[in-house]
Amino acid sequence: MTVRAADVAAAVRAGTTTATELLEQHLATIAQREPEIHAFNLVMTDHAREAAAAVDAKVAAGIDPGPLAGVTVALKDNMCTRGVPTTCSSKILDGWKPPYDATIVTTLRDAGAVVIGKTNLDEFAMGSSTENSAFGPTRNPHDTSRVPGGSSGGSAASVAAGFAHLALGSDTGGSIRQPAALCGVVGVKPTYGYVSRYGLVAFASSLDQIGPFTNSVADAALLLDVIGGHDERDSTSIPQVHPSLTDAITQGVEGLRVGRITDLPEGADPDVQERLEAAFAALRDAGATIVDVQVPAFTFGLTAYYLIAPAEASSNLARYDGVRYGLRVEAADTNAMYGVTRAAGFGDEVKRRIMLGTYALSAGYYDAYYGKALKVRRLIHDDFERAYQHADVLLTPTSPTVAFPFGDKGDNPFAMYLCDTYTIPTNLAGHPGMSVPFGTGAHALPVGVQVLAGTLQEPVMFRVAAALERAMQ
């Protein structure tokens, strides 16, 4: 039975266990399985022990350490940690130590959490399998011959393998939800602006959003309640207080309308589609009404995304030039240094997306490609908004397949991009989405069902997710 993070924190605050004891249990599990899984780029053993000791000292002094007292959290290695390497799994940032913490790192510390390590990812969050890391791939804890998904594969694997109670990832086109589905854990992409992006190394700034990986919907609600909220250092942060998701998950789904997208792009494997139909049935049994809706522009999400995201990446990654931080390869002059540094520091997928984005933004092509993609993005948003007039949430597969073998899609970038068919449109719309484990498919591997909702409709989304979770118990 899954132990809830809230129960762990309550035990630490009550003194029936200590943060140090919990940390050492996780470190022992990491020592046992990390060599085969490679979920982490860095296990922060010393920092974590100091943080756990500080929590225990507060408890001993009669001070409440916070709602995540002693709870271990793994961070995707694109979130800045002061004085601790933040690499984005790229050679170009190998060994770079930020001079500041991301907002979510400060928030976690203030809530009593213990950050246990920095997790592996596809380089600069560009990928769907965590095979693009400069430091080697992460393996799926359920079957180490298969990928954990990406780009937040290390975070998903760390929770699935029991290395940490909770983890955080970033989702630009499905990078939380897809690995959550493949690893059999809960993964949430909140509404754009729900969680501060200050200190998140940018891939595509209008799409990136931080969110949780957990073993239960309740834990995801708790973690999002802690890290959500306005941050004046992030100009895209929503300036309002969010309602409690922990309270929402107890409310059930009686009377809610769950949308079935009738024009959803085909491509999901039969075993995945079977679990989706079972999810609809479970929600109907729980009192929800299933309604048919259409989202016509959904099918254009993939093509629009792979113009918009690379264009933003081309701009964001221009800062890695060997001058201010990170890798520097010496050359005869400055321009030559730029070229050889970026050639040596970036991997193939990052180079591919930089080139694609630069082309889409270039004179003569901007309107035809990037400008048109922005118009399609608006159509996707509007189509979703119309659908939410008839349904409170929408249900889709999270990933078209279960976890696939290493190398299965590596030689075909388009086949890899198709992994995000069902997740990308939500990022373009800025809406929330989450993946909930809902049984197994081929090879007895996990299948995730995706719950989608409108802007700031996280409470209703979590109600549906909790009902799906209860149906599997």
Q: 72: part of which helix (H) or strand (E)? A: strand 72-76
Q: In whole angstroms, give the CA distance from residue 125 to residue 179.
A: 12
Angle between helices 270-285 and 458-471 (to 10 degrees): 100
Chain-centroid distance, C-alpha 451: 15
Secondary structure letter of residue 290 according to DSSP:
E
The DSSP string of 223-266 is HHHHHBS--TT-TTS--SPPPPHHHHTTS--TT-EEEEETTPPS
Q: Which of 179, 178, 141 is nearest to 162 (CA)?
A: 141
Q: In whole angstroms, give the CA distance from residue 161 to residue 33.
A: 8
What tokens appear for 395 in the block? 């249900």
* 118 touches 75 (CB < 8 A): yes
Catalytic status, residue 128? no
Secondary structure letter of residue 168 according to DSSP:
E
Q: In whole angstroms, give the CA distance from residue 74 to residue 90.
A: 19
Q: In whole angstroms, give the CA distance from residue 4 to residue 322.
A: 45
Q: Which of 127, 114, 144 is nearest to 39 (CA)?
A: 144
Instruction: Kindly list the strands in the beta sheet with 40-43, ordered across the sheet, starting from the edge strand earlier in the chain.
Output: 40-43, 114-119, 72-76, 166-171, 209-214, 186-189, 433-440, 446-453, 393-397, 257-261, 289-293
* 129 touches 147 (CB < 8 A): yes
Instruction: Say if residue 143 is exposed, middle or buried (CB neighbours under 10 Å; 0-12, 13-18, 19+).
Output: middle
Catalytic one of 133, 151, 314, 435: 151
Q: Which of 396, 395, 399, 394 is nearest to 441 (CA)?
A: 399
Catalytic one of 58, 76, 118, 409: 76
* 211 touches 189 (CB < 8 A): yes
Q: Which of 201, 199, 198 is nearest to 87 (CA)?
A: 201
What tokens appear for 307 in the block? 């113009």
Catalytic one of 155, 158, 175, 216: 175
* 150 touches 130 (CB < 8 A): yes
Question: At which residue do the structure tokens 């995000």 appear?
Answer: 420
* 72 touches 23 (CB < 8 A): yes
Catalytic status, residue 206? no
* 154 touches 41 (CB < 8 A): yes
Q: In whole angstroms, give the CA distance from residue 116 to residue 102.
A: 16
Residues known to be catalytic:
76, 151, 175
